[in-house]
């Protein structure tokens, strides 16, 4: 069969190239055709090549178009190219992972020591000069 044509290279599963898709998305977002020339298409191609997967490029472009910052008004491909990391991060925001309980030998004892530390530091009846001694005294009782 040979080498795929340029029309299919960089395309999605339907064979739509990234620059055509980006053009259509821009038009849909703004309501008219973008005033792009050859330079803008070169910048789109350069941006597309920097992504590990076409889906990442499409997600980043979608995040770029969704941005309402006045600085990115008009959504020029040159700005997209210059801030690729920003748009990739915005497109792939993950929810922060919940911290797992520490599991190591002595984890329970360490948790009790931290609780005592917080308790002693919050107790205003203990003078600051005596807090260290009070923590040491209470820690001795932990088994």
| pTM metric for this prediction | 0.54
d(CA 125, CA 131): 10
pLDDT at residue 106, as a whole number: 80
Q: Is the pLDDT of residue 103 over 80?
A: no
Residues 94 and 120 sit within 8 Å (Cβ to Cβ): no
DSSP state of 96: P
- Classified as helix, coil or strand, 17 is strand
pLDDT digits (tens, 9 = 90+) for 110-139: 888 889 889 999 999 999 899 889 888 888
* Nearest-10 Cα torsion for 7, 64, 85, 42: 40
Give Dmax (Cα) for the chain.
Answer: 84
pLDDT digits (tens, 9 = 90+) for 1-22: 333 334 334 556 677 888 888 8
d(CA 61, CA 76): 11
Intra-chain end-to-end CA distance of the chain, in Å: 73
CA angle 75, 34, 7 (to 5 degrees): 105
Residues 80 and 47 sit within 8 Å (Cβ to Cβ): yes
pLDDT-derived band at 94, boundaries 50, 70, 90:
low
**Which residues fall within 8 angstroms of residue 98, CB to CB, at 6 or more apart?**
none
pLDDT digits (tens, 9 = 90+) for 21-76: 888 888 888 888 888 889 988 888 888 888 878 888 888 888 888 887 777 677 78
């Amino acid at each position: 069969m040979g080498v795929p044509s340029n029309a299919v290279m960089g395309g999605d599963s339907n064979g739509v190239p990234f620059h055509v898709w980006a053009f259509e998305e821009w038009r849909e977002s703004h309501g008219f055709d973008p005033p792009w020339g050859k330079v803008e298409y070169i910048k789109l191609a350069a941006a597309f090549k920097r992504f590990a997967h076409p889906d990442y490029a499409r997600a980043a472009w979608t995040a770029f178009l969704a941005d309402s910052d006045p600085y990115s008004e008009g959504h020029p491909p040159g700005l997209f190219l210059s801030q690729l990391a920003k748009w990739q991060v915005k497109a792939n925001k993950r929810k922060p992972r919940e911290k797992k309980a520490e599991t190591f030998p002595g984890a329970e004892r360490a948790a009790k020591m931290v609780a005592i530390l917080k308790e002693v530091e919050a107790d205003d009846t203990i003078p600051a000069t005596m807090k260290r001694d009070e923590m040491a005294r209470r820690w001795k009782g932990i088994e």
